Amino acid sequence: MQPEVETVLPVYIVGDSHSLPYRNMVFREKWTGAWVMARSKYIPSLTAHDFFDPTTGDFHSEFIGFLEYEGLVRAGRATHLSMNEVDFAIAKAAGQPVRPPLILVAVGEIDVRGPIMRVLKNTHDFVPPFATSLPLLDKPLVPWDVIEEAIEERLGPFVAGLQQLIAAGFKRIYVQSVVPPTRKEERIRELQRYDCPVTVRTKLVQAFNWKMAAKIRSINLTMLDNWSDLTDGGLLRPEFDFDGVHLPPKGARIYLEALIDDAINPRGLVANHPRHELYYRLACGLDPFQVTAPSAT
């Protein structure tokens, strides 16, 4: 009897250290029961600002290296669009999906904690242009326009890079929102060498996510933001504070499940047709997107 072979839905997760909690994550998604596997790449110190250089058109070298290693890019082109026989052969051997691969990018936390938060430190607060449950402290204000300008400056190259990826055929890219910061003041002091009250830094992350969500939406991508699952009273729930910076794997799992829900459910369960199967069905004159009924056992 031939052993049963199950297909696996890979999700390519790449970014700063917030990609680490996804490492080796495997679970069955709830829609079809198929396996989901996180294939992650941690790029040390990756920021939104350094993700892509609009002046040269170059991506961060390790990002491109990851796409090449995973077989998503070969010879400078997206392999899932290639009509090259070599790419078909690779796809067949690897079970590579015909659709654009699911990619999750995690950047932004370093941008917030570095060049933006230092404008506020422990001396200032700000008023974002959206409703927030976080209080306004009795401190001098940094004008929202200054905060917004700083966020725009960090996000600009990232969004330009995403647009390049879309143009190259990677249309199923997700962006992870920046996770709520720790409540622990001493951890921020240790990391930043200055204080910044938890309500101010949390509000700053909200503001960054608010701007990033709008930009991601404007280029028809999706930002995953599970803020309400991770917070209580507007602040990070202690059980999701892994080390004062990152989520524990169970927090990352929430994001990944949100990605799967978005990728599979509204798109008619066609997330992961193996490409070689598609090629075969096309050759036989069959509808390549006809979902095969599971065989009775």
**Residues interacting with other proteins, by CB under 8 A?**
115, 118-121, 123-124, 126-129, 136, 139-146, 148-149
Q: Which is nearer to other proteins, 150 or 247 (CB)?
A: 150
* Rounded least distance, CB 138 to other proteins, Å: 8
Please state the φ and ψ torsions of residue 210, each to the nearest 5 degrees: -60, -45
Q: Is 89 left (phi over 0), alpha (psi -120 to 50) or beta?
A: alpha
Q: Which is nearer to other proteins, 54 or 143 (CB)?
A: 143
Residue 173 CA to chain centroid, in angstroms? 7
* Rounded least distance, CB 134 to other proteins, Å: 13
* Rounded least distance, CB 124 to other proteins, Å: 5
Q: Which is nearer to other proteins, 78 or 142 (CB)?
A: 142
Nearest alpha-carbon partner for 177 in 228, 124, 238, 102 = 228
* Rounded least distance, CB 191 to other proteins, Å: 17
What 3-state DSSP class applies to 174? strand
Q: Which is nearer to other proteins, 84 or 123 (CB)?
A: 123
Q: Which is nearer to other proteins, 127 or 282 (CB)?
A: 127
Task: Starting at the earlier edge strand, list the strands of the sheet with 173-176.
Answer: 26-28, 35-42, 8-15, 102-106, 173-176, 222-224
Nearest alpha-carbon partner for 10 in 100, 79, 106 = 100
